[in-house]
Amino acid sequence: MKLFYGIVLVMMVFVSACAQQPAAEPEAQSTVQPTEPEPAVEPETEVEDTGAAVAPPEEEESASYDIRYGTGGFDPSELTISAGSSVTWFNDDSKSMVVIVFKDGKNFATPRLNSGQQAETVFTEPGEYEYWWNIAYAPYGGTITVE
């Protein structure tokens, strides 16, 4: 009988030790999409007939936009940007958050943002992107239109 109680005691210690270990959090997927290097700007070229120097057309520089999350939701909740622009997500709330972005049945998420933290996302593909706070179809969300 003592052997039985000894085995039960060892099993209880083993089970309680396994149950107290914290679950590993999955690694956050980085949302920063690599940007393409800027092409080299060609030097001014001469036009054969007139000899006048003509500068190559200038490329549009990508812009950066801020979206802040606070107690009232996202500000702004609707944004239109050009392809290649970036959006910086700011967490101005006291709770941690994850921004989930959807487009055409695909999604990605920012890393967990604690209060005061930020993350940047570059939008290279035109289309309409929907985003939410922490879970899909949460009460707080918005739309980004990339042209």
Q: Which CATH architecture has domain 61-147?
A: Sandwich (2.60)
Task: For the chain, give every domain's residue range.
Answer: 61-147
What backbone phi and psi angles, to 5 degrees, belong to 7? -65, -45
In terms of Cα–Cα distance, which of 31, 125, 136 is closest to 144?
125
Give the pLDDT confidence of 4-54 residue by residue, as tens digits.
766 765 566 555 554 444 444 444 444 444 444 444 444 444 444 444 444
pTM above threshold 0.85: no
Q: Are 109 and 129 in contact (CB under 8 A)?
A: no
Contacts of 58 (CB under 8 A, 6+ apart): none
